[in-house]
Structures are given as structure tokens and as C-alpha cells.
Copies of this chain bind each other. A is one copy, B any other.
Amino acid sequence: MPDKPDPVTLQHALLGLLARRPLSGWEILKRFGRSVVFFWNAKRSQIYSELRRMEARGLLTSQVTVQQGRPNKRHYEITAAGEEALKGWLDRPTAVAPIKDEMLLRTFYADLLPTERAVLYLRRHGGEHRRVQEEFEGIKAQLEARHGSLSATADDALASGYLVLEQGIRYERMYAEWCEWAAAELERRGSRSRDANAAEPADFIMTS
């Protein structure tokens, strides 16, 4: 039994939130949607059902508050088993994640599209990344104003958040810059005619 590491799922994201304090499903949803979702995407329906599954596995316990005029509220708390699962997961190295990026796939086949179109889509996409970058920078500025900068704060959870936020900013900047660069490169090459008597095009194969 070479104990297989549990696959990463939403589970650990939720355990992490509940490790800080007990929360209701609804509160989890709100916090998730304002922080975790930026680097670990998940939908409402999945979060609710994952919480139930985790309770069934003994990672969480829940109790219901009866309310009138609105649905009952379910409060979740992490168990000892849940904390152990979380720490066990945290305290292991992370493999580099395989990439799945639609924009790169499209760009790889950009030669099948008229140059102007490919350039248009690259610029548009770059613009979106630029906007996200600026949004993240705005959030960073707000957080710094309210809670102090990374080097100033004594709050370790806040500091972790800053680290991740910084990655977001760098990622979006890198992506926006690449889009602009690639669009310019394509433009510079121009709409060269698909030369019928050109040499057999080399297959783009990265490793021999």
C-alpha cells in the first residue's frame, strides 16, 4: 500500500478557510468568491456539495440554525481529522502543474488565420489581462492602505494573501506583455502570401 497522495481538489481550499474559523456555507461562498476563486476556480454548486461530502468523510461537522423567513443556515467546523488532512496536504512539495491554455492553443494555430485577425485577437486578449492586472494592483493598494504593506503587517494570514496577490499581478503583466509582443511580431511579419512554392513547412516539434 504505497499510500497514494490524495488528489488535489476543492477540499483543501475549503479546509483552509475553515481552519481559520467556523463558517456557514454561505459565508464560505462569499469569502471564497472574494479570495480563493482568483487562483482556485470553483462554482457555487460544487462548493455546497463538496462540503456535504467532506462532512460525510469526517473532515467537517455541521449544525443547522433554524431561521424564519429564509432557509436554514448550516454552520461548518473543521474536525481534528480535517486539520490533519490539511496539514498533511500543506506539508508536501507541489509538482509543477501541466498547462491548459486556450489562448496558447489558438496562437499555435495562428498561421491558419489571416494575420490581421490573429493580431486583433492577441491585442484584445492582452487588453483583458492588462485590465485584470490593474484591478489586482488596485486591490493591493487598498489592502495596503487599510492593513499595511507586506513588510509592515504582523498578520501572517494577510502576508500569505499578499504573496499570492503579487503572483497574480506578475502573471497578468507577463501575459499582457506577451500578447502585445506577439501581436507586434505577427504584424511585423505582415500578411505574407501563403507561398505555394515554399519549402515543406517544418513541423513544430519541440523535443527531438
Contacts and interface: CB of A to CB of B under 8 A. Distances in A.
A50 B72 CA distance: 45
* A interface SS class: helix
A159 interface: yes
Interface stretch (A51-59, A61-69, A200-208): A200-208
A204 B103 contact: no
Interface string A170-202: 110011011001100110110010110011011
Q: How many copies of this chain are found per oligomer?
A: 2
Contacts of A208: 142
Given A112-B19, A132-B96, A157 B124 contact: no
Contacts of A203: 20, 31, 35, 157
Given A91-B113, A93-B125, A125-B94, A108 B185 contact: no
9 contacts: A35-B108, A35-B205, A38-B99, A86-B112, A90-B113, A107-B163, A107-B167, A108-B163, A111-B159
